[in-house]
Amino acid sequence: MKKLGKVFSIEFVIGVILTLLTLTAFYFSWAPIEGLEYRIYDLTMNMKKKISSAPVAVVAIDDESIANIGRWPWPRSYIAQMVDILQTYEPRVIGINILYSEADINQGLTEVREILKTIEAEGLTKHKAYTLLQEAEKRLDNDAILSAIIADNKKIILPLFLTISSTPPREEPKMPEYLIKNSIPLSGPPDFLMARDITPPIESFATHALGLGHINVVPNIDGAVRSEPLLINYANRLFPSFALQLVLKYLNYDVKDIVASQNITIRNIRIPTHDKHTMLISFNKKLEFSVYSFLDVLGNKVPQNAFKNKIVIIAPSATGLGATLATPIGPHVPNWFAITTVISNILNNDFIIRPRWAFYAELGVIIFFGLFLSLLLPRLHAGISAIITLCLLIVWSGVAIFFLLSFGYWLKLIYPGLLVLIGYTVIVSREYLFTQRVKEHIEADSIETNKMLGLSFQGQGMLDIAFEKFRKCPVEDESVKELLYNLGLDFERKRMFNKAVAVYEHIAQAGPFKDIQEKISNLKAVGTTVIFGLGGAKKDATVLVDSAQTKPTLGRYEILKELGRGAMGTVYLGKDPKINREVAIKTLRYEDFDSQQVEELKKRFFREAEAAGKLSHPNIVTIYDIGEDYDIAYMAMELLEGTDLAEFCEKDKLLPPSEVIRIISSVAGALDYAHSNGVVHRDIKPANIMLLKNGEVKVADFGIARVMASSKTQTGVILGTPSYMSPEQIAGQKVDGRSDLFSLGVVFYELLTGVKPFEGDSIATLMYNITTSPPPPLREKAPEIPAVYESIINKLLAKDKEERYQTGRELMQDLAECLKNL
């Protein structure tokens, strides 16, 4: 469960959320990110090194032409004149990128026509003026002139304009012949841009033109043009674009050769298409084609083969005239540049494709990055994670750019890139902010706190703990050395030379410091003395025993080794040299107490030990001897081999009920004996009941609790968890044998069930439960136990001591009864 919790860490959640957000944005092509994507696309486009060319010559109506020829719009006859001139250069096809959607309105022409009408009405048609006027009419009728040229030339492509809309035209329009000729019927899924209105050139032009193509551009969200709508659906017919028409006619193909399915195919040309059959324009700054000024062409100043077999585009490009487009390669690219680029793309087979696998590839990369963020990143070190993240970013953008430049495969690199970038920033900064907090805490824990605690302990005279604390600080640190050095001096002052040596040697690990080497050797000379007695702090009165050869003794007992630490002091394994008997020696060091208290404490210790020492019962640990040596009071007692009952209180280590009854019965016997001798144990708990290897039961530490618990009414003493205390003990009332029986009841309950009868999540609730709530029914916890136990337990655990067993003997009798029935 913990492991699971670790996997679903907050980083993981952040990673998953970010990934999901990215996927959502990716799926719906979220505009801001899409915009960024275009930016990258544009940047990549500008990185193109390849030079491409197109068989295109542009006749630009530039500023110079306007300045020399006259203000725009020019009479259409000028264009007609130009077409006429171009004719001599033998171009393959001529595109006039000027939309002539209205008939020319010419004030002069109208006037002339009026006059002609009048003359005709008058019948003066024979007059020379009439002929002159008729000639003037012809000269003035620009539309007629241009249309005649168009008809004559047969190479002219004219633009038309479609009004793009998401709705089809309101009613099926009547399609004139010339429109039908220049479009193909819609087939397949209507996945095309749709138009609701059409603006063709005037009829006289349109009917004679070689082809008509729309000049619509479809900018992206950011206003830049990146794709060409090759076909637009108007009234269920597909109209090719101006550029496409030029290509078709250049190749001598017909509109009917266009097949629009998944892609657009024109005979052997396959144009991969993007969204809505648009073609991604592969812009290239280094596109080679020629541009001539209208004026130069008019003045025959162009080379002879300038237009031969080329696509010629007549397009306005003077400032304020021609439309410019925002494109990946620049914000003001003339219209005809885009047209030329499209022509070049188609003719050179230079396409940009969103391959069908691109979506899945990007999806895969997003998920991969997401996994990296949520699973790997939080587990990496800061440096490594930064490097890996950077590598991922570089590799991914490298791959994407390479694909675009070399194969024209456009992969959207921003979504995954942004995910990894944002994810890294969020997770690492979060980690930084939060773990930094925790780290600060931990570090504080290890160094600063330790220093501070060490100093405090040293100030309190608790040099051992102070040393322990300082030891946790890096000894290489000069300030730590200084602290340790001072501690060493303190140890010396207290004549704890071996401790001082230990401190100095600890400093010496990190190289020489002040006079420590000298001090160490000096102290070692002094330290032929060993210091007896471990642990504890105030060691002013530590017993010094000369030379290590002599065994330390307490009274007449030789101290062999330390057995453990008890509630009141260290327990040693001792030997009585006279009768060669091994004993356990419990010590009580009272240098740890205030001198005023020592007398009182000593008195109490001996009184209790004396009382306990009088007890002689097979189930009570025998006390052989008590005494006092130096500043240590001790108690020599029977050395027992066995374990205490604490071990058998766990659910899976419970003893069989009959064995439990035997033990409880033995303890009850011991208590009965002790109580009748006026000794109350006061601290019956599993840890104080020994089960020896031979099965014997021994109760230890009679009355010790009394010594340990201060007789003075303390402010409030919480000694560990008072699970075994009787209600009257908790309330601080007088304690007698019946309290021991209550505690034994708790032990009994625990040995049978493996749980304590009174529990609480805090000491307060525990105490409250002991004093007020009844124990949970025994058979609820251990249903297999006979009902008779329940009543015994309940009687033992009665809140009112009058309701309990009054003596251990009563309990023994009931238990014996119980055992019989078992």
State the Cα–Cα distance between residues 2 and 267, nearest whole angstrom.
66
Least CB distance to other proteins at residue 614 (A):
25
The least distance separating other proteins from the CB of residue 328, rounded to whole angstroms, comes to 48
CA distances 790 to 394, 656, 752, 786, 821, Å, are 75, 16, 11, 8, 14
Out of 460, 521, 676, 791, the only residue in the binding site for other proteins (CB under 8 A) is 460
How far lies 234's CA from each of 99, 197, 246, 258, 264, in Å?
Answer: 18, 7, 20, 16, 17
Measured from the CB atom, is 3 or 712 closer to other proteins?
712
Which residue number, 772 or 791, has a Cβ lying nearer to other proteins?
772
Q: From start to end of 330-489, where are the E strands?
A: 330-334
Parallel, antiparallel or unpaired: strands 52-61 and 287-293? parallel
Alpha carbon separation from 267 to 158, 252, 253, 703, 802 (Å, rounded): 23, 11, 8, 111, 113
CB 491 to other proteins: min, Å: 15
Whichever of 66 and 568 has its CB closer to other proteins, that residue is: 568
Nearest distance in Å: CB 588, other proteins = 9
Q: How far is the CB of 535 from other proteins (least distance, A)?
A: 7
Under the binding rule (CB under 8 A), the answer on residue 767 touching other proteins is: yes
Interface with other proteins (CB under 8 A), residue from 763, 816, 819, 822: 763
Out of 462, 473, 545, 792, name the contact with other proteins by CB under 8 A: 462
Count of residues that interact with other proteins, criterion CB under 8 A:
55
Region binding other proteins by CB under 8 A among candidate stretches 248-256, 399-407, 589-597, 691-699: 589-597
Q: How far is the CB of 465 from other proteins (least distance, A)?
A: 5
Q: How many helices and strands (H and E) does the chain possess? A: 30, 28
Q: At what angle do helices 463-471 and 478-493 cross, to 10 degrees?
A: 160
Torsion angle in degrees (nearest 10) through CA of 433, 437, 439, 445 = 170
Tell me how far CA of residue 764 lies from CA of 340, 732, 758, 768, 818, in angstroms.
Answer: 89, 15, 12, 6, 35
CA-closest candidate to residue 29, choices 40, 18, 38, 41? 38
**Shortest separation between residue 687's beta carbon and other proteins, angstroms:** 14
User: Taking contact as CB under 8 A, which single stretch among the options 117-125, 179-187, 303-311, 761-769 is the one that binds other proteins?
Assistant: 761-769
In Å, how far are 82, 89, 96 from 299, measured between CA atoms? 10, 14, 19
CB of 453 to other proteins, least distance (A): 5
CA distance linking residue 717 with residue 352, whole number of Å: 83
**CA–CA gap between residue 479 and residue 458 (Å, rounded):** 15
Q: Is 641 in the site for other proteins (CB under 8 A)?
A: no
- Contact with other proteins (CB under 8 A): which of 465, 530, 531, 782? 465
Q: Which is nearer to other proteins, 152 or 592 (CB)?
A: 592
695: left (phi over 0), alpha (psi -120 to 50) or beta: left
CB 484 within 8 A of CB 507: yes
| One of 172, 546, 594, 802 touching other proteins (CB under 8 A) | 594
Least distance between other proteins and beta carbon 712 (Å): 7
Among the listed residues 67, 386, 731, 819, the single contact to other proteins using CB under 8 A: 731
Residue 221's contacts (CB-CB under 8 Å, 6 or more residues apart) are: 31, 34, 35, 38
Minimum CB distance to other proteins, residue 818 (Å): 35
Nearer to other proteins, 715 or 821 (CB): 715
What is the Cα–Cα distance from 109 to 105, expressed in whole angstroms?
A: 8
The nearer residue to other proteins, 309 or 714, going by C-beta atoms, is 714
Which helix or strand (DSSP H or E) is residue 288 part of? Answer: strand 287-293
Closest-CA residue to 571 (of 417, 667, 677, 704): 704
Within 24-83, the residues that bind other proteins by CB under 8 A are none
Pattern 541-580, other proteins, x by CB under 8 A: ------------------------xxxxx-----------
In whole angstroms, the minimum distance from the beta carbon of 12 to other proteins comes to 23
To other proteins, the closest distance from the beta carbon of 448 in angstroms equals 5
Separation of alpha carbons 676 and 737, rounded Å: 9
CB of 569 to other proteins, least distance (A): 6
**Dihedral sign computed on CA atoms, order 584, 585, 586, 592:** negative
> Which CB, 13 or 717, lies closer to other proteins?
717
Nearest distance from residue 460's CB to other proteins, in Å? 6
How far, in Å, CA of 295 to CA of 292, rounded? Answer: 8
Taking the least distance from each CB to other proteins, the nearer of 319 and 596 is 596
Tokens 């025994």 belong to 778
508-547 footprint of other proteins as x/- string (CB under 8 A): ---------------------------xxx----------
Min dist. Cβ of residue 730 to other proteins (A): 7
Query: Is residue 733 part of the contact set for other proteins (CB under 8 A)?
Result: yes
Cβ density class 784-797: b for 16+ within 10 Å, e for less: ebeeebeebbbbbb
- CB-CB contact of 607 with 678 (8 Å): no
Instruction: Give the interface segment with other proteins, choosing from 380-388, 400-408, 461-469, 806-814 (CB under 8 A).
Output: 461-469
Figure out which of the listed residues 411, 601, 633, 668 binds other proteins, where binding follows CB under 8 A.
601
Least CB distance from residue 462 to other proteins, whole Å?
6
- Kindly tell me which of 440 and 478 has the beta carbon lying closer to other proteins: 440
* Of 569 and 686, CB closest to other proteins: 569
Question: At 384, is the secondary structure helix, strand, or coil?
Answer: helix
How many whole angstroms from its chain centre is CA 234? Answer: 51
The nearer residue to other proteins, 616 or 765, going by C-beta atoms, is: 765
Ranges within 322-381 binding other proteins (CB under 8 A): none
For other proteins, the binding residues in 400-459 under the rule CB under 8 A are 437, 440-441, 444-445, 448-449, 451-453, 455-457, 459
Give 108 or 774: the residue with its C-beta nearer to other proteins. Answer: 774
Binding mask 688-727 for other proteins (x = CB under 8 A): --------------------xxx-xxxxxxxxx-------
The CA distance from 700 to 489, in Å, is 42
CB of 723 to other proteins, least distance (A): 14
Half-sphere exposure of 738 (CA within 13 A, CB side): 16
213-252 residues near other proteins, rule: CB under 8 A: none
Torsion region of 804: left, alpha or beta (phi above 0 gives left; psi -120 to 50 gives alpha): beta
Least CB distance to other proteins at residue 719 (A)? 4
Angle at 527 between CA 525 and CA 530, to 5 degrees: 155
Which residue, 195 or 543, is less far from other proteins as judged by CB?
A: 543
Encoded tokens for 598: 């020592």
Restricted to residues 768-787, the positions that interact with other proteins (CB under 8 A) are 768, 771
Stretch (H or E) spanning 525: helix 516-526
Lookup result for tokens 């979220």: 30
Residue (of 280, 165, 181) closest to 232 by Cα position: 165
Nearer to other proteins, 196 or 430 (CB): 430
What CA–CA distance (Å, rounded) separates 460 from 354?
77
Choice between 51 and 444, CB closer to other proteins: 444
Which stretches of the chain bind other proteins, using CB under 8 A? 437, 440-441, 444-445, 448-449, 451-453, 455-457, 459-460, 462, 464-465, 535-537, 565-569, 589, 592-594, 596-597, 601, 708-710, 712-720, 730-733, 762-764, 767-768, 771
